[in-house]
Structures are given as C-alpha cells and as structure tokens.
Structure 1
Amino acid sequence: MDDQEAMVCYGCVDDDHLQQLIRSEGRSTGCFYCGKKRKAISIGRLSDLVAEVMYAFFESAPYGERGDELTFHVAEILGCGDSCAPLVGDVCGELVSCSQWQIMQGDEPRFDEFGLYSRLQFWPVETERKWRDFKSGIMHKSRFFNQSGKEFLEWLFGSIDSFRRGSTSDLNEDGVVRTIKADGNVELFRARECSLAEAQEIARNPDDQLGAPPKEKARAGRMNPEGVPVFYGAFERKTCVAELRPPVGGFVISGQFKLTRDLRVLDFKRLEDAYEHAPLSLFDPEYRLKMERRKFLTTFHGKIKNPVLPKHEHEYLTTQVIAEYLSTQHTPRIDGVIFESAQNSGGLNIVLFAHVVSMDSAGQVLRPPHDLNRPTRGIEYVPMTLVLHKIKAVEFDRDDHPYTGAPSHLFGEYYRSEDDWDW
C-alpha cells in the first residue's frame, strides 16, 4: 500500500498514548479510513510503532502452548473493535510483507502471517528493587522525613482505590479498598492473654481493658510503633486467640466488638487476585514499570501477613511505615487493613488505625446524636460477649521435605537473579 495515500488519523485508534503520539508527530490531512481531516501518520509509520510493541512485549507462542493470530494482537494494541478491521488488516499486511528490494537484500518479513503469538511473561524486577531500597532506607537510614520512602509508597498505592478483584462496577463488592458498614452486622473480635486476676479486671471494664490500649501502654506491633494505639482484631474469635500464640495452660480472654461508623479498609487478601481497571497502553514509555507495579501488588499480601520470628521484631518497621502512610498520607485516608492470619488457616485479621480507635483524635471520630459534645471511638465492645479460654493444646501445620544438606530450593523461598526470570 502506498504510504502517501494511506494515512491514519488519531480518531481511528482508541489507545490514549497512541492518539497523543499521532497528534504530536502527524500532519493535518484526510484520513484514508474515516475520511476526516485530522492529524494523521502513514500506515507504514503506524506499522513500525506496532512492530516495536510486538518486539518488546510479545513472542511466538512456544510449541504446544496457546497463542493468538497476529490480527488479534494488533487489534488489541490499537484498541480497535470490529469497526476498524480494514485498518488492522492493513497494519498486519505491512508487518508480514517485504518489498521486492528488501527480498533482494535477503530480508524476511518481520512477522509470520500464519504464526501464533503470546504476551511475554515477566517478573517485577524493577519494582522488587524499589521495594528492597525502601525497606533498607527506613530500617538503616531514616524512617521519619524519608522523602524517597514516601515517594515510593505514593507510587505503589497511588491508584489502589481503582483495584478490583472482579469485573463488576460495585467497588464495595469487589474493590480492594472496601467500606465496612457500621450497620452491616459485622462481628469483630479481640483477645488478650491474661491471668485469672487480670480477667476479672478486664470484665469490670471490657471496652477500655480489651479494646485498643491507650497510647501510654501501646507496644510496638506489626502495624504500629510504640505509643501509637491500634485495634488488632479478627473476624473470628478462634483467629484472634490463635494470633496471640498463647502457651499451653495459659488463659486468654476475648470479646466481640462492633463499628460505630462506616470504615474504609484496604483488603490485602483481595489484592492477591485483583487488577487495576484503568487500561494500560503498550505505547506508554512507562508501560513495563506500571505493569510490574500491578504484578508486585498481587504479591504484597504475602509480604504483609508473614509472621515475624522472635528476636526479629525490627522487621515490623516496614509494615509500620506502610500503615502510617495509609492512615495519615493516603487520600482519601484508609481506616484499617485486612490480611490473612498466619496462625489460623483461612482466618482473617483486621487492624484499625489510631484515628479510629483513639479518644485523643476527637476531631476525627464520630459524635453520637445523643451527646454532640462527647467523642467516641469508631469501634465499641458488645456487652455480655466475653469468653475466657484456657489453652489446652496448640496445633501446628508444617511442610516436610527430605533433606540431605545439599543446596536446594526448599519451601519455594529462594532468590532468583534477573537472568533466571522469563521475559
């Protein structure tokens, strides 16, 4: 096809980045495909752009594995539907053909007309590097006023509100950031290790004694530094007891709590199989990094929920900083997080941040209708729900592998160098 005659305008493609590229480098002329006079580039130039994308992010489908025809991928790259079949056909024609002069020079078509192609699989190498730099920076350099750490978290969580695990438009049904309704009859539980004498003291004032501790008594934990009160709870009583890892023969007391206002929480469990609904353009120079970010976020639940071993509590610093960012810097603010229990398979933990549970943040908490001057917490104890548990036995689950002392990749936990990854 004669490139001088075949011009394609920005209106004939749906990809935002490609439209902008055509606007910036095209010239105003009649479009061969829609007939309108707009900024346009030649079909040859468009084919070269598509070829660059194909080389960067696609490969010939390995033998025996599923792939799709070139026309399918070209239509997807251009953001085209059935209405632009002629354009897709012309681009594919350019990709699979050679001029007579090129043939004489020994050239071959860039792509196989009858070949099948699939997307390259790659790992989030650059994002993992950013994550390691972030952890190192806050653990060994500066936690507070760490601008690079803040910038990383802004980049990582910037569009988290648009992530969904399904295709519905109901963000609360499928959204990674979900709203838990105060009137939704959600049962939350919290537990404390105690002696029998302490259990009696808790029973006299369970709302204060079993709820989030005051800032003077708040010890450092997974989601808070020392002196910052948070509510560590679970959706099941069994889970909140197990999370304490109590000794056999000891006592634990637990109680049920309810919300006094709606809360926005980030559900890390949902994040495992969620995706960002905002489309990514293959023509975006930052496409790869943005795709790496999406892939990295699907693995983030594992980084959050893994238990920290005794004498390694300093590793909580990473999750403490993340919680601080979500509760104080992210817009709109996150009230808490949900993650899977490491102690009770299938159980879910919930952590509610300081501005939800602390009486000191009076400007941020609900003032009940019956007393507009008295602040209250965003969560409160449900009367007559205390249960005292005597620990009789502890269950363990494990992975067993034959071991000879030879180097091996046990338990799926090993570092893969960049050269090991598939692209």
Structure 2
Amino acid sequence: MSYICSNCIGEEFLRNLVAREASQDEPCEYCEREESPTVEIGFIADRCDAVIETFYELSSQTAAVIHFDRTPAGDDLPTVIQKLVRVNEAAVTAIVETLSDKWFDGDSMESRYGDDDDPWFVLKSHLGSAMSARWAEMESSLRNEARHLNPNVAEFMGEVFGDIAADVTAKGSSVLVDAGPGSSIDKLFRAREFQTEKGLYDALHHPEKFLGAPAVGIGRAGRMNAAGQPAFYGATDADIALAEVRPAVGSYTVVATFAITRPLKLLDLGLLMEVRLKEGASLFDPMTKAAAERRDFLKTLCTKMTLPVVPEGQDHDYLITQVVADYLAMHPRASIDGIVYPSVQFETPVGKNEERRGQNIVLFHKAATTLYADSMKSTGFVQLYQVDSQDSEEYWYPCIEFGAPEPESSYFQRPGFNPKPALELVRDSIHIHRITSVKIFSDDSPVRLGTLGPWSR
C-alpha cells in the first residue's frame, strides 16, 4: 500500500481533507517528504469512486464503441483521475489500480463498469434527486392537509429558492432580471376578453381599473395567484397577450400597453433552468452534490411550472405554481416582484427546427397596481360607433376621451397593504380585436384499424 501527503494533491478541497485526516507516519511516496503526515492511496481512491459514481456515467460500452470501434465520448479513467485530483502520473497510476481492484467482483468475475480494461466516462447530464420525491410529498400535503401555514411547504421552499439571489447561469448572469425605466422590459402588454359589447363599453369607461389587475377579492385564480389575490398577467408582445387569453370567436378582446414606472426585479424561469454550480465548486465536497441535485431539480420544476394547463385541470394543477409564487413574493432575503416565463400559447417559426417562444410576465400584488385604477369615478368617456352624416348609418369607430385625473381624495383606499403603483396605462395604445376566427396548430395522429395487442385488453 502506498501513501500520499496533502502537498501532492492539487485539488483544494481534497487537499484540505487529506491534511485534516492524515495521521500516518509513513513517508509520502510521491514527493518523499518524511515530515508530512500521509493517508493511504486508498483514501483518495474511495473519494474518487464516490465522485465517479455520483457525477459520471460510462461512455465506453455504447453500441457505437463496441460494434463500430468509435472513440468513446469523454475521457479515459486516468484522465478523469488527473482532472479530479491533480496529482503526478505515478499517483494517478496507483489510484487507477486501486479503483480497478475495488470495482472487480471476485464472485461474478466482473467489473462494475464492464469487461473493458480501459473504461471511459462523461459527466452526467442530470443527477437523480431526492427532491423530486419530496416535491411529490409536498404536493400531497398541500392538497390533503393544509395550504397555509404548512411547515413542510415552508421548509422545502426555503431549500429550493432560499439562495436564489445568488444563483447565476453558465454565462454568469443572475436569474433575477431588471424591469422598469431604462431596462429591456419597460412595458407590458395585457389582454382582456369581453363576451358582450356592453361589457366592453363599460370597461373602457375605466380602462385602468378593468384592463389592469383585478382588485383584491375579485379576480379568479391564475397560474401564479389564488382566487381574490391580485396579480397582473402581461406579455412582452401584443400577439402573445392576445393568444394567452384564448378568446372565443365572436368575443371582443382588448389589448393595451402598460408602462412600468418604477424599478422591479423579476425571476426569469428560463434563466433559472440554466443555473450552474458555483465557480470552483469541488466534486469532492458533499455540498456540491446537493447543489447539483437542486440545479437539476430546478430544471424539472421550471418545466412543470410552464406546462400548458387545460381549463378543467386549472384548480388542481395551478395549486403548486401558486404556492411557489406566494413564497417568491414574500422571499425573506430577496425582493422579487414577479416571474418571467415562456408562453406555451404562442410560437412563431424562426427557422428550420427553431422556434421563438414569447415571454409572459406576472407581477405579484406588490407590483400589480396601475395608476388611477383606484379612482372611484370613470376616467374616460366612450363611444363605440360613429354616425355617417350622409346616410345616418352607424359604423364601428371606437373612441375614448379621457378626463383630467381625479384628486387623490377621490380614490378608494382599501384597508391594509396599498402598494405604490408600478404600472401606467399607455392611453393611446388600446386596441379592440373582434375575434372572427382562430387558427389551430396541432399534432395530427390518425387512429388506425388493426388488431389490438394483449396489453390493451
């Protein structure tokens, strides 16, 4: 058995671990320092074994390698060890030999990684995570026990989102993005559907109130808000906003632009899916495994949060996303005003096998208020038709005349939290869409005639 000291190990975390654990009086065989405490080379091999099992997968047993003699992806075992531990060639050879002995099963006469004497490895694209099982338990707890003041939910949300302000993507950007004056997100488009002309007419008399977020206690539940909880659902594009309300043929849908009037901070779910491990994170550090599992779980979670939901399943499927939004809105260490997430209702072809998916943005209650929305009087005077002076016939020509702003004393002041308005209706941006038809894109699968397999009976 050979021995190695911490001075011979280039990987910082492992070097410090060896320095703490070293107790042997045997001299180091790789630098011949007799005064430095050492550990057996098997100590290093055991740590490498755990890292390879956790973070790597075998690449030298694929069909392309076995049958077509292709070069395996990734690196061979000595290269993997050198990259991990950063030791000299003699120490690499000793670690590889120790691992080969460790992986060989004398009973079956087989190695853990196959009969190949020269296994190659690649980093796993995704680690299995116990978080997924815990997430399922949390869903069950929410649906069957309690939504509010649920300690299981609070603890899990803290574990998943607690350090979100420190998360960065592979490009080094934060997952929290700026919105408001001077940023790339300085306005939002919002749509609202009206089934009758009267409903449209009434709403346009006070568009700040009826096109903005519903008041406390009025709005229905949405993807990121419970019923009665104000939230502003907007989009970065007018076409996206129109598509997201899924208007019925024959209805009227109003699309308007809202300027964001003060700085806001938004969590971008697309960026959250690209979270990387901290710079210099050691694969030998148990915290890195936990961080990698969280990273991979976030990818799965963000996908779940943006899946299309049919109306029948909204009450059931929106529960989890609502709870996530509740936690983020009240985050204990980061001020988050809303969430950016991709639209699943609107996709525009960009090129071959490539699509541009629009962005939706939901603003939480603390940022969902529109200027003048709380005025108790109408802010505009509306007419939907004009009369032709020649033949006295009416024709569609909607028009709004806005009056002077009411004094603040005429605003309705609700008890409790009244956030400063973060939105202002761009009054000349209002468009009315009379929905005449809807184009549907689908995957068409014919039902074939034939003999059913035994599994279907």
TM-score under structure 1 normalisation?
A: 0.77
**Partner in structure 2 of residue 143 of structure 1:** 147
> Within 2, Cα distance between the matches of 1:109 and 1:138?
46
Asked if the contact 1:271–1:297 (Cα under 8 Å) also holds between the matched residues in 2, the reply is yes
**Partner in structure 1 of residue 253 of structure 2:** 252
Asked if the contact 1:177–1:265 (Cα under 8 Å) also holds between the matched residues in 2, the reply is yes
**Partner in structure 2 of residue 44 of structure 1:** 42
Asked if the contact 2:370–2:424 (Cα under 8 Å) also holds between the matched residues in 1, the reply is no
Q: Per-residue deviation at 1:289?
A: 5.1
**Partner in structure 1 of residue 11 of structure 2:** 14
State the Cα deviation string for residues 240-276 of structure 1 (Å, max 9, x = none). Answer: 1111111101101111112122222111123344433
Asked if the contact 1:233–1:349 (Cα under 8 Å) also holds between the matched residues in 2, the reply is yes
Residue 322 in structure 1 maps to residue 324 in structure 2:
yes
Q: Per-residue deviation at 1:356?
A: 1.2
- Structure 1 pair 236–109 and aligned structure 2 pair: CA distance change class (3 A): closer
Residue 239 in structure 1 maps to residue 240 in structure 2:
yes
Residue 388 in structure 1 maps to residue 432 in structure 2:
yes
Asked if the contact 2:11–2:84 (Cα under 8 Å) also holds between the matched residues in 1, the reply is no
**What secondary structure is seen at the aligned counterpart in 2 of 1:179?**
strand
- The 5 A counterparts of 1:263-302 are 263-278=264-279, 281-285=282-286, 290-302=291-303
**Partner in structure 2 of residue 355 of structure 1:** 366
**Partner in structure 2 of residue 176 of structure 1:** 175
**What secondary structure is seen at the aligned counterpart in 1 of 2:45?**
helix
Residue 215 in structure 1 maps to residue 247 in structure 2:
no
- The 5 A counterparts of 1:96-245 are 114-119=118-123, 124=128, 126-167=130-171, 169=172, 171=173, 175-184=174-183, 186-194=186-194, 195-245=196-246
> Within 2, Cα distance between the matches of 1:33 and 1:181?
60
Q: Per-residue deviation at 1:278?
A: 4.9
- Structure 1 pair 257–359 and aligned structure 2 pair: CA distance change class (3 A): closer
> Within 1, Cα distance between the matches of 2:154 and 2:280?
25
Q: Per-residue deviation at 1:110?
A: 8.6
- Structure 1 pair 312–45 and aligned structure 2 pair: CA distance change class (3 A): closer
**Partner in structure 1 of residue 58 of structure 2:** 59
More displaced, 124-133 or 52-61?
A: 52-61
Q: Per-residue deviation at 1:145?
A: 1.2
Task: Provide the alpha-carbon RMSD of the alignment.
Answer: 3.7
Q: Percent identity?
A: 28
> Within 2, Cα distance between the matches of 1:182 and 1:43?
59
**Partner in structure 2 of residue 71 of structure 1:** 78
Larger Rg: 2
**What secondary structure is seen at the aligned counterpart in 1 of 2:170?**
coil
**What secondary structure is seen at the aligned counterpart in 1 of 2:233?**
strand
> Within 1, Cα distance between the matches of 2:42 and 2:335?
48
> Within 2, Cα distance between the matches of 1:402 and 1:271?
38
Asked if the contact 1:61–1:117 (Cα under 8 Å) also holds between the matched residues in 2, the reply is yes
Asked if the contact 1:28–1:37 (Cα under 8 Å) also holds between the matched residues in 2, the reply is no
**Partner in structure 2 of residue 397 of structure 1:** 441
> Within 2, Cα distance between the matches of 1:329 and 1:36?
54
TM-score under structure 2 normalisation?
A: 0.72
**What secondary structure is seen at the aligned counterpart in 1 of 2:427?**
coil
**What secondary structure is seen at the aligned counterpart in 2 of 1:312?**
helix
> Within 2, Cα distance between the matches of 1:349 and 1:314?
20
**Partner in structure 2 of residue 304 of structure 1:** 305
Query: Structure 1 regions of 5+ residues with no counterpart?
Result: 361-370, 409-423
State the Cα deviation string for residues 319-346 of structure 1 (Å, max 9, x = none). Answer: 1111000111352132111111121122
- Structure 1 pair 45–353 and aligned structure 2 pair: CA distance change class (3 A): same
- Structure 1 pair 307–52 and aligned structure 2 pair: CA distance change class (3 A): closer
Task: Report how many residues are paired.
Answer: 381
Q: Which has the higher strand share?
A: 2
**What secondary structure is seen at the aligned counterpart in 1 of 2:271?**
helix
Q: Per-residue deviation at 1:48?
A: 3.2
> Within 2, Cα distance between the matches of 1:109 and 1:249?
69
Asked if the contact 2:370–2:423 (Cα under 8 Å) also holds between the matched residues in 1, the reply is no
Q: Per-residue deviation at 1:24?
A: 3.9
Asked if the contact 1:189–1:234 (Cα under 8 Å) also holds between the matched residues in 2, the reply is yes
Match of 1:379 among 423, 428, 453: 423
> Within 1, Cα distance between the matches of 2:44 and 2:163?
31
